[in-house]
């Protein structure tokens, strides 16, 4: 059976890069999102490539529409990325709960109904399921370290992992959950850890900007993260597994240096708020690589260079509302 991918949250950052990768491979791909302008897709894809994407307007909490989409288009692989991120959950806890939890339930129940049709399912969890570094032993954080979420978003992600486990236990619905940390790159313009990428946009636009935190964290270039999600979906895991995504550990000071190297004119214009958000600085992704194979991560300086180059081109083409993004 030919692959038919469905990507929820495809108008977001990782979703856009996932769609781009699949289109570049020639794989039929459908998106599932609320109606909206695909501005992140337009930023990283040309018009010819974008014309190959099948857009479906739908609410992730609407079971009948999501179920009909999977059935009508013969979907074989689902990449579930639709979610309310930390600031949006904090601002509207009830809607955040609905999107993150009911939305996950809708996807899992649809997969149960079409279990013989679905060949692979991967969803985005988050390192937000973990607590602050001082609660864990020194060194890289293992994928089975105890969850101690610090916000409602992390609670939702922990519960989503639990739901996936029970759907495997009770119904035989297999899944792989991946836990990103700081995803960066073109299209990353919202969420608690989006400010490093916003600083890259500011540099591309010749603006000053203040990154909102100073922690050493694990960075994942969006295109690399998308490749990992696609590979995980194709693994067709026959149980419910959750893995740390891995990436490159770097301080915010290193990020700033990479920005100034890629855009020397920005030297001194990118500053850092000396506040720590308390996320782990090292992550062990060895279990993920045992499951899906070696995951390659672009060097931070090269990822930053590529990001700034893409954002500059987007600004010149009128594809980016710099004022809106930097003010958000």
DSSP symbol at 146? P
Residue 236 burial by Cβ neighbours in a 10 Å radius (0-12, 13-18, 19+)? middle
Sites in the chain below the pLDDT cut of 50 = none
Q: Give the integer Cα–Cα distance in Å for 282 and 259.
A: 22
pLDDT for 307 equals 98
pLDDT for 5 equals 98
Q: Give the integer Cα–Cα distance in Å for 176 and 161.
A: 9
Predicted confidence (pLDDT) per residue in 267-307, tens digit: 999 999 999 998 889 999 999 999 999 999 999 999 999 99
Sort strands 54-57 and 29-33 into parallel, antiparallel or unpaired.
Answer: parallel
pLDDT for 236 equals 81
pLDDT for 280 equals 85
Residue pair 23/53 in contact by the 8 Å Cβ criterion: yes
pLDDT for 317 equals 96
pLDDT for 9 equals 97
pLDDT for 131 equals 95
Predicted confidence (pLDDT) per residue in 175-211, tens digit: 999 999 999 999 999 999 999 999 999 999 999 999 9
pLDDT for 279 equals 85
pLDDT for 225 equals 98
């Amino acid at each position: 059976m030919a692959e038919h991918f469905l990507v929820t949250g495809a108008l977001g950052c990782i979703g856009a890069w996932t769609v781009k990768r699949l289109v570049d491979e020639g794989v039929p791909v459908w998106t599932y999102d609320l109606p909206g302008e695909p501005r992140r897709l337009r930023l990283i894809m040309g018009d010819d490539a974008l014309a190959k994407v099948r857009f479906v307007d739908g609410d992730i909490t609407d079971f009948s529409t999501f179920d009909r989409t999977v059935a009508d288009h013969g979907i074989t692989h689902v990449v579930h990325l639709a979610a309310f991120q930390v600031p949006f959950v904090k601002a509207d806890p009830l809607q955040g709960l609905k999107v993150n939890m009911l939305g996950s339930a809708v996807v899992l129940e649809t997969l149960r109904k079409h279990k013989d049709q679905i060949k692979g399912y991967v969803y985005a969890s988050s390192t937000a399921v973990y607590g602050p570094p001082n609660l864990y032993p020194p060194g890289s954080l293992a994928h089975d370290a105890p969850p101690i979420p610090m916000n409602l978003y992390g609670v939702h992600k922990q519960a989503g992992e639990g739901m996936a486990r029970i759907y495997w236990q009770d119904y035989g619905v297999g899944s792989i959950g991946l836990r990103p940390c700081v995803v960066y790159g073109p299209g990353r313009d919202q969420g608690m850890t989006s400010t490093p990428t916003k600083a890259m946009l500011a540099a591309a636009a010749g603006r000053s900007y203040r990154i909102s935190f100073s922690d050493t964290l694990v960075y994942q270039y969006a295109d690399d993260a998308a490749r990992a999600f696609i590979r995980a979906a194709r693994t067709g895991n026959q149980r419910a597994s959750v893995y740390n995504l891995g990436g490159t550990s770097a301080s915010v000071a290193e990020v700033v240096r990479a920005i100034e190297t890629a855009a020397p004119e920005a030297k001194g214009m990118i500053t850092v708020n000396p506040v720590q958000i308390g996320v782990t600085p090292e992550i062990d992704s060895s279990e993920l690589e045992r499951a899906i194979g070696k995951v390659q991560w672009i060097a931070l300086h090269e990822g930053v260079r590529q990001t700034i180059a893409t954002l500059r081109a987007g600004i010149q083409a009128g594809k980016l509302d710099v004022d809106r993004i930097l003010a958000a």
